[in-house]
Structure 1
Amino acid sequence: MLYSDIADVFDRLEGTSSRLEMTSIFSDFFKGLDPGSLRKIVYLSQGRLHPDFYNAELGMADKLVLRAISFTAGVSESKMDELWKKEGDPGKIAETLMKNRKQASLFSEPLTLEKVLKNLTMIESAEGRDSQDKKMKLLSNLLMDSNPVEARYLCRIVTGRMRIGAGSMTILDALAEAFGTKEDRPDIERGFNITCDLGFVAETLAIGGVEAVKKMKVTVGNPIKVMLAERLPSISLIMDRMGGRCAMEFKYDGIRVQAHIDRDSVKLYSRRLEDMTSNFPDIAAELRKQCRAERAIIEGECVAIDKDGNMLPFQNVTHRRKKHGMDQAVEDYPVKIFMFDILSVDDEDMTLRPLGERRSKLNETFGLSDMIQLTTMEVVNSPEEGEDFFNRALGKKCEGIMAKSLSQESVYRAGSRGFLWIKYKKDYEEALTDSFDLVVVGAFHGRGKRAGKYGALLMAAFDDESGKYCTVCKLGTGFDDAFLAGMPDMLDEYLSETHPSTVDAEMIPDVWFLPTVILEVVAAEISLSPIHTAAKSIMKDNAGLGLRFPRFTGRVREDKGPEECTTVNEIISMFEMQAQNKA
Structure 2
Amino acid sequence: MNLEKIEGTGSQEEKAGKLFELLAQLDPISAKYVVRIVLGKLRLGFSDMTVIDALSWMEVGDKSLRAKIEHAYNISVDSGLIAKTLKEGGIKAIEQMHITIGIPIRPAAAERLPTAKDIVDKLGKCVAQPKLDGFRLQIHLDKTGPRPKIRFFSRNLKDMSDMFPDLVAPIEAVDVQTLICEGEAIGYDANTDTFLPFQETVKRKRKHGIEQAATEFPLKLFLFDLLYLNGEPLLDMPHEQRYHLLKKLVKHDQNNPLQFIAEKEITTAKQLEEYFYEMIEEGLEGVVVKRMNAIYQPGKRNFNWIKLKRQEEGELEDTIDCAILGYYYGAGKRATFGIGAFLVGVFNKGHDRFETVAKVGTGLSDVAWKELRTKLDAAAVTHKPVNVECAKELYPDVWTAPEIVCIIRADEITKSPTHTAGKTAHELGYALRFPRFMGYREDKSPEDATTVFELKEMFEHQKSR
Normalised to the residue count of structure 1, the TM-score between the two structures is 0.72
Question: Could you tell me which residue of structure 2 aligns to residue 157 of structure 1?
Answer: 33
Question: Could you tell me which residue of structure 1 aligns to residue 344 of structure 2?
Answer: 459
Alignment of 1:128-527 (within 5 A): 132=20, 135-136=23-24, 138-140=25-27, 154=30, 156-160=32-36, 162-180=42-60, 182-242=63-123, 244-263=124-143, 264-289=148-173, 291-308=174-191, 309-369=193-253, 370=255, 371-407=257-293, 410-427=294-311, 431-452=315-336, 453-506=338-391, 507-527=394-414
- Superposition deviation, residue 220 in structure 1: 1.3
2:315–2:410: 8 Å Cα contact kept in structure 1? Answer: no
Match of 1:259, as an amino acid?
I
Query: What is the rounded CA distance, in whole Å, between the counterparts of 1:347 and 1:441 in structure 2?
Result: 43
CA deviations over 1:413-455 (Å, ceiling 9, x no partner): 1111110100001218865121111111111000000114111
Structure with higher helix content: 1
1:496–1:513: 8 Å Cα contact kept in structure 2? Answer: yes
1:297–1:343: 8 Å Cα contact kept in structure 2? Answer: yes
Query: What is the rounded CA distance, in whole Å, between the counterparts of 1:472 and 1:221 in structure 2?
Result: 37
Match of 1:515, as an amino acid?
P
1:431–1:578: 8 Å Cα contact kept in structure 2? Answer: no
CA deviations over 1:152-175 (Å, ceiling 9, x no partner): xx3552342644322211111111
1:461–1:469: 8 Å Cα contact kept in structure 2? Answer: yes
Query: What is the rounded CA distance, in whole Å, between the counterparts of 1:233 and 1:163 in structure 2?
Result: 36
Match of 1:165, as an amino acid?
G
Secondary structure at the aligned position of 1:127 is classed as: helix
Query: What is the rounded CA distance, in whole Å, between the counterparts of 1:341 and 1:365 in structure 2?
Result: 12
Match of 1:283, as an amino acid?
L
Between the aligned residues of both structures, percent identity stands at 35
Question: Could you tell me which residue of structure 2 aligns to residue 148 of structure 1?
Answer: none
Return the index of the structure with the highest Cα Rg: 1
- Superposition deviation, residue 218 in structure 1: 1.7
Residues 324 and 159 of structure 1, relative CA distance in 2, 3 Å threshold: closer
1:292–1:367: 8 Å Cα contact kept in structure 2? Answer: no
1:258–1:299: 8 Å Cα contact kept in structure 2? Answer: yes
Query: What is the rounded CA distance, in whole Å, between the counterparts of 1:321 and 1:421 in structure 2?
Result: 27
Secondary structure at the aligned position of 1:286 is classed as: helix
Task: Out of 560-569 and 367-376, give the one that drifted further.
Answer: 367-376
Query: What is the rounded CA distance, in whole Å, between the counterparts of 2:354 and 2:453 in structure 1?
Result: 12
Query: What is the rounded CA distance, in whole Å, between the counterparts of 2:4 and 2:47 in structure 1?
Result: 18
Query: What is the rounded CA distance, in whole Å, between the counterparts of 1:441 and 1:54 in structure 2?
Result: 32
Instruction: Mark the runs of 5 or more structure 1 residues left unpaired by the alignment.
Output: 1-48, 57-123, 144-150
2:76–2:99: 8 Å Cα contact kept in structure 1? Answer: yes
Q: Which of 414, 435, 438 is the aligned partner of 1:550?
A: 435
Query: What is the rounded CA distance, in whole Å, between the counterparts of 2:183 and 2:55 in structure 1?
Result: 33
Residues 429 and 238 of structure 1, relative CA distance in 2, 3 Å threshold: farther
Q: CA RMSD in A?
A: 2.3
- Superposition deviation, residue 133 in structure 1: 6.2
- Superposition deviation, residue 126 in structure 1: 7.1
CA deviations over 1:205-256 (Å, ceiling 9, x no partner): 22222232222222211111111000001111101111x2111111112111
Question: Could you tell me which residue of structure 2 aligns to residue 63 of structure 1?
Answer: none
Residues 429 and 412 of structure 1, relative CA distance in 2, 3 Å threshold: farther
Structure with higher strand content: 2
Match of 2:104, as an amino acid?
P
2:409–2:435: 8 Å Cα contact kept in structure 1? Answer: yes
Normalised to the residue count of structure 2, the TM-score between the two structures is 0.90
Match of 2:325, as an amino acid?
V
Question: Aligned residues, how many?
Answer: 443
Query: What is the rounded CA distance, in whole Å, between the counterparts of 2:177 and 2:318 in structure 1?
Result: 40
2:250–2:260: 8 Å Cα contact kept in structure 1? Answer: no
Instruction: Mark the runs of 5 or more structure 2 residues left unpaired by the alignment.
Output: 7-13
